[in-house]
Chains A and B, each alone.
Chain A
Amino acid sequence: MVNSYLLNGSWGIFVRSGSNSTKAGFWFILPAMIFVLAFFIIPLIAVFIMSTTNFPLLGEVTYVGLQNYTDMMSDTEFHQTIVQTLIYTALVTPPLFIVGLGTALLIRRTNKLSSFFRTFFFMPLVIGFGSAAFMWYWLLDPGTGYIPQLLRDLGFGNMEKPILGYMPGALIAVVFMVVWKFASFQMILLMAGMQGIDPEVLESSEIDGAVKWKQLRYITLPLIKGTLGMVFILSIAGSLLAFDQFFIMTGGGPDGQTETMIFYVWRQAFRSFNLGYAAALSVVISIALLLVSLIQMRFFNEKD
């Protein structure tokens, strides 16, 4: 889970912010840290150790050094899932941002009507990826689903081919579902960013006769650069880690063409029970994700 704290800078003062130098603080934090140690630090160490072993669920665990990592080099199935995950990320990020920004611009005013609409825009966000994916799985069903029926009614042929059974239909359908489900998350962050802009700045640019989209491009967006960076990091990191929607809606199909990286790791660990290899894959994905976040942070900080 990549969060925004890295970007908004307030963690920096986190450590220095206390007032009383007493031991009491230690005891307040200790219970949380026991959990972090047990369910995060220890598994984190374990994943590195496991990644250097041949680790079947049953049977003998043997140390194999870096073999899992070298195996990865020639694992074309894994390479395929990397490519597919990147394609999915590239496809889902722009529409998510456009819908998020568009809705944010529409309802950024703080009045009753705006918050009324906001409430409904939020509905897909709160229902959970599992529920949403199962809902859309049915919606797309060629027999009883409403979407093929709607397309039939609009004259798009008989829609007998299951949308989720073919490429690129399966991938596009998942992208639609995710945009529907997640756009309001970006909406609320962008809206909060825009509400933080001094209204006078916008008003003065209007007096200068700035055209609306120019105002957006040259004034509003640069002023919420921090928020934009956060939105992109969360969106890209989330997409690179996608699992639920593909597991439920496509099962990775057709022919594994929508299998994502995390899906592949999950299958290696919990279907093939190659825990050692899955651990090595996890390490590599974690490091890659860390790099993506760092690069993006640098990119958005430089532009300030």
Chain B
Amino acid sequence: MKKTEIQNKKRRVGSRNSSIPFRGWLAICICLMALFLSPILASLFHSLKTPKDSSSSPPTYLPPSFSIENYRSLANSSSGIISDGIHLYIWNSVVLALITVIGTLVLSTLAGYGFARFNFKGKEVFFAAILLMIMVPFQALLTPIYFLFSQVGLQNSLLGLGLVYVTYQLPFSIFLMRNTFRVIPKALGEAAMVDGCSQFKIFKTIMLPLARPGVISVALFAFFASWNEFIAALTMISVQEKYPLPVVLTLLLDRQMGATNFGFLQAGVVVTMIPCIALFLILQKYYVSGLVSGGVKS
């Protein structure tokens, strides 16, 4: 390829219509990438310092020597700051995520299919209920949910909290599943119906496997929602052994006023964010398509 051709190609790739040459575009993008990434890398570096280095002032940007001591004391229940090792709280978060993901998947695939394929009495009422859910902020219902849960023994229950998460994932998830099912040709199911398949069997054996991209998006957002949710978890769970990860971080912060070791807190932050980053990198395509089609707040 001649030099001019390469340059032309570069111009096209980078920045046609944006009135800046490719190199400028590249430089701006690299700077922005550094800005977006640096707090995350800083947190990682700080957590990998020795406790002495991570609590010394002024800080060094890079760890003078790498150490996993902060992680080790996070895993060690006798560190005195949290009553159990971090694995207990990771487990709590995993349980919460499993309840939320499975619950959301089951309910939203069924309902999405129902909305996409059938007309029936009461559909308008269901629709209105979901529309109302979109409009009423979740935070406004924490007070009654807290009270109602205390009446039925669901306070301090990861299951109870998970059921709430499932419910508030439904509008987005049903919408996404309904759109997914809409584009699957009806004829695929009709043939099976002639063979005497039940509606549910058609749904389960024919439609659901074809709806995989939507299913993955729904599961991914349900995971992010439950893993990162803060205010409801903070409110509904008041015993330390049941805390999910984001709430445990408040503990790492509170108890260390005075002799602060922020490396320890950042180790907790890293543990909390790594599953999110990993899942995002693996399933980026589904994350973006979910965001674009639902405009959901993650």
Q: Which residues of A pack against B, CB within 8 Å?
A: 1-6, 8, 10-11, 14-29, 31-33, 35-44, 46-47, 50, 55, 103, 105-107, 109, 111, 113, 117, 119-132, 134-139, 141, 143-146, 149, 152, 180, 184-185, 188-189, 192, 202, 206, 212, 215, 230, 234, 237-238, 241, 243-244, 247-248, 262, 265-266, 269-270, 275, 278-279, 282-283, 285-286, 289-290, 293
Task: Say how far B229's CB is from chain A's closest CB, in angstroms.
Answer: 8
Question: In this assembly, does B205 line the interface, its C-beta being within 8 Å of a C-beta of chain A?
Answer: no
**Residues in chain B near residue A107, CB distance under 8 A:** 29
**Contact between chains at A130 and B272 (CB < 8 Å):** yes
Residue of A nearest to B113 (CB): A28
Task: Say how far A12's CB is from chain B's closest CB, in angstroms.
Answer: 10
**Contact between chains at B18 and A212 (CB < 8 Å):** yes
B115-148 to A contact mask, C-beta < 8 Å, 1/0: 1111111111011011111111111111111111
**Contact between chains at A28 and B134 (CB < 8 Å):** no
Question: In this assembly, does B227 line the interface, its C-beta being within 8 Å of a C-beta of chain A?
Answer: yes
Instruction: Tell me the B265-295 residues at the A interface (CB within 8 Å).
Output: 265-266, 268-269, 272-273, 276-277, 279-281, 284, 287-288, 291-292, 294-295
Q: Which residues of B pack against A, CB within 8 Å?
A: 13-19, 25-26, 28-29, 32-33, 35-37, 39-40, 42-43, 46, 54-59, 61, 103, 106-108, 110-111, 113-124, 126-127, 129-148, 163-164, 166-168, 170-172, 174-175, 178-179, 182, 186, 199-200, 203, 224, 227-228, 230-231, 234-235, 245-247, 249-250, 252-253, 260, 262, 265-266, 268-269, 272-273, 276-277, 279-281, 284, 287-288, 291-292, 294-298
**Residues in chain B near residue A137, CB distance under 8 A:** 253, 265
Residue of B nearest to A28 (CB): B114
Task: Say how far B258's CB is from chain A's closest CB, in angstroms.
Answer: 11
**Residues in chain B near residue A188, CB distance under 8 A:** 288, 291-292
User: 12 A-B Cβ contacts within 8 A?
Assistant: A24-B118, A41-B129, A46-B147, A121-B32, A126-B279, A127-B228, A185-B291, A244-B231, A247-B231, A247-B234, A266-B231, A275-B147
- What is the interface of chain B mostly: helix, strand, loop, or mixed? helix
Give A124 to B284 CA distance when docked, in angstroms: 14
**Contact between chains at A282 and B118 (CB < 8 Å):** no
Residue of B nearest to A127 (CB): B273
**Contact between chains at A123 and B43 (CB < 8 Å):** no
